[in-house]
Amino acid sequence: MNKMLAAGLLACASMQAQDVRKIIEEVQRRSRTNSQRYEGTLQVVDARNRITEKRWQYDRLGAFGESKTVLRFLSPPEVKGVALLVHNFKERSSDQWMWTPALQRDRRIALQDRSTRFFGTDFSFEDLEERDVDHSDYKLLGEETIEGSPCWKIEARPRKSRSSQYTHTVAWVRKDAYVFVRIDCYRGEELARRIGYHEVENIKGIWTAKRIEVYDTKRKSRTVMKLDRLEYNVPMKDEDFTLQALRRGS
């Protein structure tokens, strides 16, 4: 290959990588808040269409790789008080602890267990991490229309410094609002999970999906998460995102 042509192709590839990264950066910039709180319902529909439902509260302080979150179940009674604490970092995988009131103990979620289901839902523990743009390398696969909205189709592969059960993900980003509408999560060539973002509304300047559906291709089950009582930039304290606070909250 002509050296000048090869150099030109490499330059074009580099420009594309930079441009697609800017799309993800803009997604994060438009959704950045100091804190977030919501209540929600989780409906798990198994392969036989049997439905179980849980209700939870979610608190987050910080954003994108430098955040702390607490997810706590409110009902039904047999799971009330069960909670997950996540500390997210830019430079490494998150730290996660689960608190079970019935046992009066917490346990750290090991990295090798992050691919397991979170408390009977179709989310894995890894899916509950908050990712930063620097955690992956990106490639623009093209453009497609999803549910009537023109989207960029973007592949993301985790960097070597990031541990992940997924070899890569493919995301569709709405061009008008810079918000995710779908993410397909792969292990090799096999689709493992599909996450759909629906009922997208502008809430205090933040485009927010109020219904999120996760489909587990192996189990043939899906989890529907509906958000309500959603608030952004509410006062929160660092001390509310500790193991001590997790235990007190039960």
Q: Three-state SS across 169-191?
A: EEEEEECCCCCEEEEEEEECCEE
**pLDDT per residue over 86-104, tens digit each?**
999 887 888 999 999 988 8
**pLDDT per residue over 149-182, tens digit each?**
999 999 999 987 777 899 999 999 999 999 999 9
Q: Residue holding tokens 């103990």?
A: 105
Could you tell me what percentage of the chain is helix, strand and coil, using 3-state DSSP and rounding each to the nearest 5? 20, 50, 35
List the CATH code of the domain at 3-248: 2.50.20.10
Q: Enumerate the domain spans of the chain.
A: 3-248
| pLDDT the model gives residue 4 | 43
Q: What percent of the chain has pLDDT over 70?
A: 92
What's the pTM value of the predicted model, to 2 decimals?
Answer: 0.86
Name the more confident of 153 and 14: 153
CA distance 115 to 197: 21
Q: For residue 111, which phi and psi values (nearest 5 degrees)?
A: -55, -40
**pLDDT per residue over 142-154, tens digit each?**
999 998 999 999 9
